[in-house]
Structure 1
Amino acid sequence: MTSAAELEQVAFDLFDEQGFDNTTVSDIARAAGIARRTFFHYFPSKNDVPWGDFDAELARLRADLRASPTGVPLMDTIRHCLVEFNRVPPEQVPAHRRRMRLILGVPALQAHSTLRFRAWRQVIAEFVGERTGRSADALAPQTIAHAVLGVALAAYERWLDDADAELTELLDAAMRELADAFADSGVPAARAE
């Protein structure tokens, strides 16, 4: 075993065979040919395996948001970055569906996801706060961050239910609807700075 990605693949195979809840860290380590303690050099817990290198992905999202032109309306910027954040090469779509079915479908992972989703929302709230001159903890940035996460989860659920659906198209359409709703309500964060 030489990488987190290889260990992740072994774990996913076991999750498919035995179920997530019935697979232990010891099972994963044994199947990977590593010591149990070595597993923890790669992942803090079994619940972290489906998330992969989520911290690096969040850093990429944060960088993409900050690098976006300031003249573009806020919700358009978030939509564009959200779509790109979730763009998966065609050859990786089956593995991504597998990953997201686990994350959104296994109760233990749903509970664990609250921590990951909180970090994800914070990235969005920080960006909204920066663009609107508000604290990331202010109501508007937090509301937008929660709404955007809700949109993303709704798009993912639809995508998982429809094998022919294109995730980025669903995300784009759902974010356009959200932006229109914010624009119609006069939420100031929907305008460009």
Structure 2
Amino acid sequence: MSTKPSRAVIAPHSATAAIRRLAERGYEATTAEDLADAVGMSRSTFFRRFGSKDDVVFADHDHALAQLEAFLTSTTDTPGEALVQGTADVLRHLTRDPEAARLRFELMRVTPALRDRELVITHRYERVYRRFIREVAAPEIPRWVAPALAASLVAVHNATLRDWLRGSVPDAPGAVTRDLRRVTGLYAPWLDPAGASSPQRVVVAVYDAAGSPDAILDAVAAQLTHS
């Protein structure tokens, strides 16, 4: 499976200018000439490099998908951590220009045609995840694991992005990393069967409630050393 490459990576200020033009004039009312003017190029160059108005709006996703697939192909992380870090990198890319991200979100909210294209993008992310999961998972993996985990990764990413856009999550990459580690942990028996089957030790520490934090940590460390 090969991710469809973007025709070009638009510089952040150019993406913002193009999306701002679409937001100001409306998706249907904005022409290719308008967008070419917004990004500072001729109409023919615009079509040669970007193809359509949709491609301008979703150029960041095309680039993020290509980066995600390249990362999953080359990473030496454990499978679960690879999925976490790859998804966090996608979110970093999509939020690196806050103005463009917010304009894009509002534009898609009011433009049905763009919401349809967004669904296609979502399925492309899921295909990348499913392929990776099937390649690295245990041989006896149930058929539902790859599609279920892939959909969960996309759902958590999208929920975090929406929360960031609303201002309720200031550190989107940090939040999605934390939440995705919880999600991938549920699939550890298939993603990392050796690690999932390793016995865990339980340490019970009894300490003086009036003791200092350093003394308590020293007591726990001593128990771990001798257990």
Query: Which interval holds the TM-score relative to the shorter structure?
Result: 0.7 to 0.9
* Residue 27 (structure 1) aligns with: 34
Q: Is the Cα contact below 8 Å between 2:95 and 2:101 reproduced in 1?
A: no
1:61 lines up with 2:63 in the alignment? no
Q: 1:31 to 1:86 in 2, by over 3 A?
A: closer
**CA distance in 2: counterparts of 1:58 and 1:110, whole angstroms:** 18
* Residue 46 (structure 2) aligns with: 39
* Residue 92 (structure 1) aligns with: 97
Q: Give the alignment's TM-score, normalised by structure 2.
A: 0.65
1:15 lines up with 2:25 in the alignment? no
**CA distance in 2: counterparts of 1:90 and 1:157, whole angstroms:** 11
* Residue 159 (structure 1) aligns with: 164
CA offset at residue 60 of structure 1? 1.7
1:173 lines up with 2:178 in the alignment? yes
Q: 1:105 to 1:43 in 2, by over 3 A?
A: same
Report the 3-state secondary structure (helix = DSSP H, G, I; strand = E; otherwise coil) of the residue aligned with 1:87.
Answer: helix
Runs of 4+ in 1 over 4 A off after TM superposition: 30-35, 88-91, 190-193
Q: 1:170 to 1:91 in 2, by over 3 A?
A: closer
Match of 2:190 among 184, 188, 191: 188
**CA distance in 1: counterparts of 2:185 and 2:82, whole angstroms:** 14
Aligned residues with identical type, % of pairs: 25
Match of 1:75 among 70, 80, 83: 80
**CA distance in 2: counterparts of 1:90 and 1:30, whole angstroms:** 25
* Residue 49 (structure 1) aligns with: 56
1:122 lines up with 2:127 in the alignment? yes
Q: 1:58 to 1:191 in 2, by over 3 A?
A: farther
CA offset at residue 129 of structure 1? 1.0
* Greater fraction of residues in helix: 1
Q: Is the Cα contact below 8 Å between 2:153 and 2:180 reproduced in 1?
A: yes
CA offset at residue 29 of structure 1? 3.4
Q: 1:20 to 1:182 in 2, by over 3 A?
A: same
Q: Give the alignment's TM-score, normalised by structure 1.
A: 0.75
Name the larger-Rg structure.
2
Q: Is the Cα contact below 8 Å between 2:160 and 2:169 reproduced in 1?
A: no
**CA distance in 2: counterparts of 1:176 and 1:155, whole angstroms:** 14
- Write the deviation string for residues 128-182 of structure 1: whole angstroms up to 9, x where unpaired: 0110166xxx532222111111111111111111166211122113213323444
Q: Is the Cα contact below 8 Å between 2:14 and 2:38 reproduced in 1?
A: no
- Structure 1 letter corresponding to 2:53: K
CA offset at residue 124 of structure 1? 0.9
Q: 1:28 to 1:59 in 2, by over 3 A?
A: closer
- Structure 1 letter corresponding to 2:148: T
Q: Is the Cα contact below 8 Å between 1:7 and 1:32 reproduced in 2?
A: yes
* Residue 214 (structure 2) aligns with: none
CA offset at residue 12 of structure 1? 1.8
**CA distance in 2: counterparts of 1:82 and 1:120, whole angstroms:** 10
Q: Is the Cα contact below 8 Å between 1:101 and 1:160 reproduced in 2?
A: no
CA RMSD of aligned residues (A): 3.1
CA offset at residue 65 of structure 1? 1.5
Q: 1:192 to 1:113 in 2, by over 3 A?
A: farther
Long gaps (5+) in structure 1? none
